[in-house]
Chains A and B, each alone.
Chain A
Amino acid sequence: MSAVNASLIHAIPLSSQVINLCAAIMLLLGFAMLAQRRVLTLINLFMLQGLVLFISTLIVALTTSQSHLLWSAGLTLLLKVIALPLILHRLIRRLSVKWDIETLLNIPTIMLIGIALVVIAFNVAQPISQLSGTITRATIGIALACVLLAFLMMITRSKAVPQVIAFLAMENGLFFAATSATYGMPMVVELGIALDVMVGMVILGVFFFQIRQQFDSLDIRHMERNKEQ
C-alpha cells in the first residue's frame, strides 16, 4: 500500500493523498477490529472507522463538487459516527456485556488470514481500478479488503454483539468501495441502505434480548441445536 502511495505521490494532489491516508487508516482499523477482544473497544473502533469514512467522503465531495456525496457524508456522520455507536453503547449497558471479553482463538492465525485476504483483494481490485476514472481509484482495493476483513470477523466471532458490529463494518467497507469506484451510489440507493442498517439494528437489538432470555447468554453457539434434525 505504501508502494502504491509512493508511486503515485508525485502525480496526485493533496486531497487524493489525504484520501489515501484515510484508506490506510480504514484498513488499519479493520485489522484492529479483527483482533480486538473487548466489546466496548470494538464499538469505539467502529465509531472511528465511521469517522474516517465521513472525512474521506467529505473530501471527495469537496474536491469533485458532487453535491449528493455531501449528503452521503452527512448521513454517514449522523448514522455511523453518532447514532449507531450510541445505540450500541446503550445496548451493551442494558445487556450488561460492557466489559465482556470474548475468547478469540488464535489471533495470529486470524491476522495472517486477514493479510492473505488483503493480498487477494488488491489482486482482484486491480482491473477495476484501471477501469475507474475517479480520483479515489487507488483505494478500491483497500475498500474491498475492508469488506473481506469484516466478513472474516463475522465468521470468527461467536457472540452476537461483535457479529453485528462486524456486519456494520462490512457495510462501511461497501460504502467506501462505492465512493471510491464511482463517487457513490445513487442517492436513493444510499438512503435505502441507511434505512436498512437502522432497521436491521433495531431488529437485531430485539433479537439480542430474545436470545439472552432463551439461553442466558449472547453466545450464538447455543443456537446450533435449532437446526432441523
Chain B
Amino acid sequence: MRQALLIDWVLITALGWLLIGVIGVSFPRNFRLISRVLFPLGALCALLLALLALFGVGASPQVRILPLGLPDLPFHLRLDALSAFFLFLLGATAAGISIYAAGYFRKGEGTAPGLQCLLYHIFLTSMAFVMLADDGYSFMVAWESMALSSFLLVTSEHRHAEIRRAGYLYLLVAHIGAVGILLSFGVMAGSAGDYTFDAMRNFSVAGFWPTIAFLLALFGFGAKAGLLPLHIWLPEAHPAAPSPVSAMMSGVMLKTAIYGLLRVSFDLLHAQLWWWGILLLLLGLVTALFGVIFSTVQSDMKRLLAYSSIENIGLIFVGFGLTLIFKSFLLPSLAALALTATLYHCLNHAFFKSLLFLCTGSVLHATRERNLGKLGGLIHRMPWVTWLALIGVLASAGLPPFNGFVSEWLLLQSFLFTSGLPQGYLNMLLPVVAGAVALIAALAGFAMVKFFGIVFLGQPREEKLAQARDAGRLERLGLLWLAVGCVLLGLLPNVVIALLDPVTRLLVGSGLRYTATSHGWWLLAPISEDRASYSPAIFLVSIALFMPLVYWVVRRFYHGRLQRVPAWDCGFPLQTSRMQDTAEGFGQPIRRIFSPFFKRTREHPSPFDTHPRYRSLVEDPFWYWLYLPIARIVEQGTRLIAFLQQGRIAIYLLYSFVTLLTLLVLTRG
C-alpha cells in the first residue's frame, strides 16, 4: 500500500504546480502574491517532487489510470526507475529555477505576471506528465502542452518581431518533430490499435518496422533535443525567452527528448541493432562538434550558451549511441557504464547550464545588455553572480572537481573499453570518436573561458555598466542551489552512480553500483581499480592545498620583484577598456581554424572612413544548405496548388462535386 502511494504523491505535486498556476492567473496583476508566494511555493513543490522521485528510483514500477481526457481513453501513468530519475532531474533543477524566477520576473515586463506564472507552471506540469505517461495518447497530450506552453513563454516579449520569429520557428520544428513521434508510436502500436506502452512492450513488430519506429522517434525527439540538422530553433529560441525559461528549456526540456528516446529504444522496442548506435554516435559527434565550434564564435551570451547546449546534447547522444552499441553486442556491464555516463551528463548539464542561463539573466537585468562586446568587468559590481557563474563555467568546461568532469570522464572511460567489440571496423572508428570527444571537451573549455572572461573579467566596456547591481536575494538563493548541486554532483559521484543503478538495470540489465563503489565513497573506479579511478575528494584537497601555495609563491617571488616605474610605458601611454580583447577577437583563432564550418559575411570600412564600422556576421550554414532550399521547394509546390484556387465559388463546388461522384462510383465498383 505504501508503494502505491508514491506515484499518487508525485501526481499531487505535479497537479499542485497546475493549481499554483491557476491561482496566479486569477490574480494576474497581484505582483506581490505571485513573486513572493506562488513561485516559492512552486519551488517547494519541485523540491518535494525531487525527494519523491529519489524514492521512486529504487521502488518497483507503479501504475495509475487517471480518468482524464476522452471518455474511452484515460491517461495511463507509470512511475519506474527511468521516469523517476528524470523526474528527479526536473524537480531538482526546477527548485532552483523557480526560486530564482520569484526574484526575476519584474513588474511591467512583457506578459502579465499572472499569465507568466500560469504558463510556467503548466510547462512544469506537462514535463512531469511526459515522464509519467504510459500510453501514446497521454504522452502526446503532455508533449504538445509542453511545446505550446514553452512557445508562449518564449514569446512573452512578443512585441519584438524577432522574438515572434524565433517563437514561430520553434513551434514549427516542435510540431514537425511531434509528427515523427506520433508516427513512431503508430508503428509500434502496430495493427492492434492499442496505444498503451504496455501493449507496445508486449507487441513485437516484425521485420524492418522496429528500425522505422526507431528512426521516426530519433527524428521526432532529435528535433526537440536540437540534434543536427534540426538544431536550428535552439539558438533562436533560447536568447528570445526570459532567462528562467531558457534555463528550464535548456536544462530540462531538452532532456525530455533524451528520456523519450531512451524509453522508445530500450523499453518499448525489444531488440536494438548495432548500426542504430553508430548512427546516434556519429550524429551526436557532429552535433557536439558543430555546437561547440559555433559557441566559440558567438557574440551574444545567450546564443553562446544555446550552442553550448547543442554541444552537450551531442555528447549525451554520443554516450547514448555507445550504450546502444554495447547493448546490441550483449555487453551489459559496458552498456551500463556508457548509460551511466549519459544519464549523469544529463543531470550535470541540467544543473550547470541552468545555472549559467540564470546568471545571464541576472547580467541582463543589471545591464540590459546581451552583447558580449558591451559587457565586461562585472566581477566588481556583481560578485555573487560572478563567483557562482565561475562554478557553472568550470563545471561546463569539464574541470575537476566539478560535476561536468565526472560524466565526461566516464564517457571517455567507456570509449576505452571498446577494443573488446567483435567488429573490426568499429574498433578502428571508436578511438577516433574518442579523440573527437576530447577535442570537443577542450573547445568547450575555450568557449567557457570566453564567456566568463569577456562578461565578468577585465574592465567595463560601457559606462553604464558601473551602475550594474548584483542579483537580489531570491535570485542568489536560486543560483546558490544550482551551484551547490554542481559541486555536490562532482564530489559524490558514487552516490549518483548508486542512484543510477536501478535505471541502468531497467534499461540494459546491469548496473555499476557494486563495481564502481566497492572502494568506499571516495574512490570511483567504474570497471576495476587497476584500469582507472577517480577520487574527487583527493582532487579537492589537493586543489585546496595548492591554490594558496601557488598564490603565495607568485606573490612572494614574482610580484615581490616587480617594480612599477613610469619610464617607458611600453608603448601604451593610456589604457582604455576598448583595448581589451573583444569577444570577436577572442574567438578569431577558432573562426580561422574551422572556417569551412561557417558562413561568414564581413564588412570592412574603407581606409578613409572617418567613422569606421566593422561588421562580421557568422551564420549557420544549415540555413543555406538545408532549410532555405526546402522552403523554396515548399513555396513552389504551393504555387502549383494555388492554381486550383480560381476564386469562383462554382469551381470550388465543382471540385467537391467531382470528388463526391468519383468516390460514389469507386465504392460502387
| Chain A contacts to B: CB under 8 angstroms | 117, 120, 123-124, 126-127, 144, 148, 151-152, 154-158, 163, 220-221, 223-228
The main secondary structure of chain B at its interface with chain A is: helix
Cβ of B545 under 8 Å from chain A? no
Q: In the bound complex, what is the Cα–Cα distance between A68 and B93 (angstroms)?
A: 61
B654 contact set on A, CB distance < 8 A: 155
Q: Are B667 and A156 in contact (CB under 8 A)?
A: no
| Min distance, Cβ A72 to any Cβ of chain B, angstroms | 24
CB neighbours of A151 from chain B (8 A): 653, 657, 660
Contact between A163 and B665 (Cβ–Cβ < 8 Å)? no
Q: Which residues of B contact A (CB under 8 A)?
A: 642, 645-650, 653-654, 657, 660-661, 664-665, 667-668
Which residues of B sit under 8 angstroms from A221, Cβ to Cβ?
A: 648
Contact partner of B647 among A126, A155, A227, CB < 8 A? Answer: A227
**Docked complex Cα distance between A120 and B653 (Å):** 19
Kindly name the residue among B645, B646, B653 whose own CB sees the greatest number of chain A CB atoms within 10 A. Answer: B653
Neighbour of A124 across the interface among B647, B650, B657, B667, CB < 8 A: B667
B648 and A127: CB pair below 8 A? no
In-complex Cβ contact of A220 among B649, B657, B661 (8 A): B649
**The 9 A-B residue pairs with the shortest CB-CB distance in the complex, in nearest-first order:** A227-B647, A224-B647, A124-B664, A155-B653, A124-B668, A155-B650, A151-B657, A224-B648, A155-B654
Knowing A155-B654, A155-B657, A228-B642, the reply to whether A123 touches B649 (Cβ < 8 A) is no
Instruction: Give the shortest distance, in Å, between B593 (CB) and chain A (any CB).
Output: 49
Most buried by A among B646, B657, B667: B657
Number of A-B contacts (CB under 8 A): 42
User: A155 — which chain B residues lie within 8 A by C-beta?
Assistant: 650, 653-654, 657
Hey, which chain B residues are within 8 Å of A163, CB to CB?
649
Give CA–CA (A48, B135) in the complex, Å. Answer: 55
Residues from chain B with Cβ under 8 Å of A127 in the complex: 668
Q: Which residue of B lies closest to A126 (CB)?
A: B668
> In whole Å, how far is B652's beta carbon from the nearest beta carbon of chain A?
9
CB-based nearest A residue for B655: A155
Q: Closest Cβ of chain B: how far from A116's Cβ, in Å? A: 10
Which B residues are in CB contact (< 8 Å) with A144?
664
In the complex, the answer to whether A156 meets B647 with C-beta atoms within 8 Å is no
B657 pairs with A120, CB closer than 8 A: no
Set of chain A residues within 8 Å of B647, measured between Cβ atoms: 223-227
**Residues of chain A lying within 8 A (CB to CB) of residue B667:** 124
- Complex contact B645–A227 (CB within 8 A): yes
The secondary structure that dominates the A interface is: helix
Q: How far is the CA of A228 from the CA of B644 in the complex (A)?
A: 11
Compute how far the CA of A117 lies from the CA of B645 in the bound complex, rounded to whole angstroms: 26
Residues of B within 8 A of A225 (CB): 647
Task: Using known A-B contacts A228-B642, A228-B645, determine if residue A158 contacts B665 with beta carbons closer than 8 Å.
Answer: no
Whether A156 touches B657, Cβ cut-off 8 Å, given contacts A120-B664, A124-B664, A227-B645, is no
23 A-B pairs with CB atoms under 8 Å apart are A117-B661, A120-B664, A120-B665, A124-B667, A127-B668, A148-B657, A148-B660, A148-B661, A151-B653, A151-B660, A152-B657, A155-B650, A155-B653, A155-B654, A155-B657, A157-B650, A158-B650, A163-B649, A220-B649, A223-B647, A224-B646, A225-B647, A228-B645
Chain A, Cβ-Cβ closest to B647: A227
Closest to B654 in A: A155
Distance of A126 Cα from B82 Cα, bound (Å): 59
A120 to B663, CA, bound (A): 12
Q: Which single residue of chain A is at the shortest CB-CB distance from B651?
A: A155
Residues in B with CB closer than 8 Å to A228 are 642, 645
A87 to chain B, nearest CB (A): 22
Q: How far is the CB of A219 from chain B (nearest CB, A)?
A: 11
Q: Measured between C-beta atoms, what is the minimum distance from B635 to chain A in Å?
A: 14
Question: By CB atoms of chain B within 10 A, which of A144, A151, A155, A220 has the most?
Answer: A155
Known A120-B665, A123-B668, A124-B668: A227·B657 in contact at CB below 8 Å: no
How far, in whole Å, are A117 and B660 apart by their CA atoms in the complex?
Answer: 12
Q: How far is the CA of A215 from the CA of B108 in the complex (A)?
A: 47
Closest to B657 in A: A151
**B30 nearest CB across to chain A (Å):** 41
A229: nearest residue on chain B (CB-CB)? B642
Chain A minimum-CB-distance residue to B666: A124
Kindly state the separation between the CA atoms of A158 and B389 in the bound complex, as whole angstroms. 71
| B649: chain A residues within 8 A (beta carbon) | 163, 220, 223
Instruction: Give bound CA distance, A179 to B437, whole Å.
Output: 73
Q: Shortest CB–CB separation between residue A167 and chain B, in angstroms?
A: 10
Complex Cα spacing A144 to B497, Å: 71
Which residues of chain A are within 8 angstroms of B665 by Cβ–Cβ distance?
Answer: 120, 124
Judge whether A227 and B668 touch: CB under 8 Å: no
Shortest Cβ gap from B200 to chain A (Å): 36
For B657, the chain A residues whose CB sits under 8 A away are: 148, 151-152, 155
B contact residues around A148 at 8 Å (CB): 657, 660-661
The docked-state distance in angstroms from the alpha carbon of A126 to that of B657 is: 20
**Other A-B pairs beyond A148-B660, A158-B650, A224-B647, 9, CB < 8 Å:** A120-B664, A120-B665, A124-B667, A126-B668, A151-B660, A156-B650, A227-B646, A228-B642, A228-B645
Query: How far apart sit A228 and B638, CA to CA, in the bound complex (Å)?
Result: 12
- Output the nearest chain B residue to A220 by Cβ-Cβ distance: B649
Complex CA gap A155/B660 in Å reads 14
How close is A123's CB to chain B, nearest CB, in angstroms? 6
The smallest C-beta distance from B351 to any residue of chain A, in angstroms, reads 50
Inter-chain CA distance A125–B559, complex, in Å, is: 102
A126 and B667 alpha carbons, distance in the complex (Å)? 12
State in angstroms the CA–CA spacing of A163 and B645 once bound together. 20
Chain B contacts for A157, CB-based, 8 A: 650
